[in-house]
Amino acid sequence: MDSIGLDTVAFIHYIDERGYPTDKTTDYLKKNYLDQGKLGAKCEKGGLYPAGHTTKTTGEQKSNHDQLAAPSLIDIEVLFFGLPEPIDLEINEDTQTLFWTDRGDPPTGNSLNSVKLEELKGLGHGDRNPKYDILTRQLHEATGLKLDQVNKHIYLTDLGGTLYRVSMEGKDKKKVYDEEAAFSGIGLVHV
């Protein structure tokens, strides 16, 4: 997040939308970084990392995403290996289920998938992937995912410009909107 600019990160809208406290999130970022001119890797004052800092190791190719790698691997837990191209994910806390879209190639890509969180406990490096369910297929490079737990639906978007609605089990897929566009995500508001 340091490489896109902390000023961009400070305006993340879901902090307010979801009712998260701002004193340890956006207010903290504004007070301790933005107000001091520390905008991240794009400025000479730095940000979360010193100016010019990279988390790339020697020999890795430089890119505009140099600060996106984690500084240490102790805080990363791999849940799956070899998925085609997972994009968006969300957890249903009531059912303890992880959902994700995958825009990779079929047979397992272009899909909505789910796994019970209990299946992920105790996995070690090199273990086989836990069993997961492919809930719906034939999306056109699936990107966005939003659980509507009030109405028991899942909304999905794809790069083909389609908004879909499916049941929480992935059944009854319906096109809600289909135009020439490219969606990269989705938000949901109940009014």
- pLDDT tens digit sequence for 34-66: 787 776 655 666 565 555 555 555 555 555 444
- What would the mean pLDDT of 6-24 be, rounded to a whole number? 66
Q: Are 66 and 54 in contact (CB under 8 A)?
A: yes
Give residue 68's pLDDT. 45
CA distances 178 to 30, 65, 143, Å, are 39, 33, 15
Tens digits of residue pLDDT in 79-125: 887 788 888 999 999 999 999 999 888 887 889 999 998 888 776 66
Selection from 162, 163, 158, 150 nearest residue 189 by Cα: 150
Mean residue pLDDT across the chain: 77
Give residue 149's pLDDT. 92
Give residue 60's pLDDT. 54
Residue 172 and residue 18: Cα distance in Å, rounded? 28
Give residue 67's pLDDT. 46
Give residue 22's pLDDT. 80
Yes or no: domain 86-178 corresponds to CATH 3.30.70:
no
Using CA atoms in the order 82, 59, 69, 10, what is the torsion angle rounded to 10 degrees?
-140
Residue 158 in tokens:
């794809």
Residues of the chain with CATH 2.40.10: 86-178
